[in-house]
Amino acid sequence: MFEGSSLAKKYKLDQCECPTGKMTRFAEPCLLFFLSQQPSYGYELMDKLDQFDFQRAKPDPAMVYRTLRSLEKEKCVISQWDTKGAGPAKRNYELTPKGLALLHAWAQGIRSRKQALEKFLNLYKKQFKVKK
Amino acid sequence: MFEGSSLAKKYKLDQCECPTGKMTRFAEPCLLFFLSQQPSYGYELMDKLDQFDFQRAKPDPAMVYRTLRSLEKEKCVISQWDTKGAGPAKRNYELTPKGLALLHAWAQGIRSRKQALEKFLNLYKKQFKVKK
DNA sequence: ATCATCTATATGTATTTTACACATAGATGA
DNA sequence: TCATCTATGTGTAAAATACATATAGATGAT
């Protein structure tokens, strides 16, 4: 068993600096950021997400809409139907102060994540001497 | 329905540059890298992993051991028991040529991931003008 | 006017990944 | 011989992702 052993102390989770503990959810901070620029809605945000999306060709609509809903549940954004303008009604989202705070927290987490990747790439480069 | 619509073309997955399509499994490239330096075993690799681990205080043993086994299943590493030396037997892992190729593929993916994070941080900085 | 297409939101669900608890056991030292 | 350290694993729930599919209003062409 691990209890009381040094491994227990050594390999136990402690509090994570990132709000949720999951740095992999890159869509969330991006959506928060876009909404910090101006109110918007899912379909439009999908296109904006495109510029950050490095693992998929196009962002997944399911992820976008579900993330927005979950952010709203957490009171990080608020939405209302927008029937003005052309096309079908849009659910228009706005960032709340809580959402802005979450964005700032994400920025911190992303900074440290970037540093980790840089560290990896530096070691990698050092070992495999890429010559241009 | 999506079939035939522009959305179908627009938001469909296409082939991902990263081997598995999942850039989030940072433990895997790290383990591959360490093994490219020298053969090693799970317990030791956990400690090495520490320097990259940005989301948790300490790496999860389960993840390390399972990743190593899965890499072995894919013939990216090979292992054998090492009973020499002090303490309990270790399962010693070595990188295969296939594993080395996988490491190089990961490096590419990590580069592009880093760029995405940088892009995010640049936009963020621009908008929230952090003064030092 | 109706049909295809585009815009827009949303749900269902399987798979993958992560988190964390727990099990086992050899070696070492008090 | 008992606690502790090293070492390798399994079990399982929760979270996240991938992808398919459903619905429906608006728009433009024929």
Residue B43 lies inside a defined structural domain of this protein: yes
Q: 3-state class of B82 per DSSP?
A: strand
Q: Does B35 touch chain A (CB under 8 A)?
A: no
Highest mean pLDDT among A3-12, A31-40, A111-120: A31-40
Q: Look at residue B9 and tell me if it is in a domain.
A: no
Q: Is residue A32 part of a domain?
A: yes
- The answer to whether residue A126 neighbours chain B at the CB level (below 8 Å) is no
Touching A: B residues 45-74, CB under 8 Å:
46, 51-61
Predicted confidence at residue B108, as pLDDT, reads 86
Write the CATH number for A30.
1.10.10.10
Residue with tokens 């999506």: B2
* Average pLDDT of the residues in B102-117: 88
For residues B72-88, average pLDDT: 93
Model pLDDT, residue A66: 95
Q: Above 50 in pLDDT, residue A29?
A: yes
The answer for residues whose C-beta is within 8 angstroms of residue A38's C-beta and 6 or more apart is none
Cβ pair B107, A121 in contact under 8 A: yes
Q: Quick one: what percent of chain B has pLDDT higher than 90?
A: 51
A3 pLDDT higher than 60: no
Report helix, strand and coil shares of chain A as percent, to nearest 5.
Answer: 55, 10, 35
Q: Within a domain: residue B3?
A: no
User: What number of other Cβ atoms are within 10 A of residue B72's Cβ?
Assistant: 16
CB–CB contacts below 8 A, A to B: 114
Domains in chain A, number? 1
The three-point CA angle B78-B18-B64 to 5° equals 40
What one-character DSSP code corresponds to residue A75? T
Q: Give Rg (Cα) of chain A.
A: 19
Chain Cα centroid distance, residue B22: 9
> pLDDT for A89-114, tens place per residue?
999 999 999 999 999 988 988 888 88
The answer to whether position B30 is within a domain reads yes
A16: chain B residues, CB-CB within 8 Å: 55-57
**Structural contact between residues A21 and B55, judged by C-beta atoms closer than 8 angstroms:** yes
B57 located within any domain: yes
A66 within domain boundaries: yes
Q: Has residue A74 been placed in a domain?
A: yes
Domain range holding B99?
A: 24-128
pLDDT per residue as tens digits for the range B36-57: 999 999 999 998 988 876 666 6
pLDDT band (50, 70, 90) for residue B92: very high
